[in-house]
Amino acid sequence: MPKYPSDVIPTCVECDKRNQTKVCIKCGVVFCKHYASGTDYRYCANCISDFAIKETIMEKVVEHERPDGTVTFSRKYQARHIMLQGTDWLFAAHKIEELDDAEIEATIEYHRANVGLLLDERQSRQHERYKKLAGIKVVSIKHETQEDREKREAKELARATRKSRTKTKDVTVDSMVAALTQLAKGGLTKEQILELLSKGSKK
């Protein structure tokens, strides 16, 4: 938790009722878990706030050479160098010197148990993120060549032409049916309509 203002009492009402409070071993203030330091729960958030982790990636290249000086192969190694910084970290480090043997053993087991819980929590959150990512459908983008594009455009043109022909044919049939209906409504008999059709086909 980040630092809280000086006018804030670092104990919520519910924790105070349940007597779930502690006394900060640095400043002596009474606080609950909601105002505890996220780095070391034995301190309040204001006492362990000046703390940072500096991470550096160190690289080393190892080359193997022949007697004539030519390189047979090279291999690059990487390592993480982590350094703890901040005045609060120095305070906690100097506090270790004042612990007796029993307190050192108890503190080691205390932090070892916390590390196990933190690792389990981190792994659980990673699994949850993996599950969410597994549900996302990844669409692969296919890069088409000039030849593929020409084939696709030819297929689209042929498909559009077939649709146009079918539509024209349908319109022609509908027009003929509508014309015959009008002739029948005009009083022409079936024989007269057939005679007109035969004359039109001869032309």
> Could you give the CA distance from residue 65 to residue 5 in angstroms, rounded to a whole number?
62
pLDDT digits (tens, 9 = 90+) for 116-172: 888 999 999 998 888 888 877 766 666 667 777 777 777 887 787 776 555 555 545
- Give the domain ranges of the chain: 1-49, 51-86, 99-135, 162-202
Whether the predicted pLDDT of 114 surpasses 60: yes
- By percentage, how much of the chain surpasses pLDDT 90? 7
- pLDDT tens by residue, 163-202: 655 555 554 556 666 776 776 777 767 677 667 666 655 5
6: number of Cβ within 10 Å: 6
In angstroms, the first-to-last Cα distance of the chain is 97
| 105: pLDDT strictly greater than 90 | yes
Give the C-alpha separation, 64 to 50, whole Å.
46
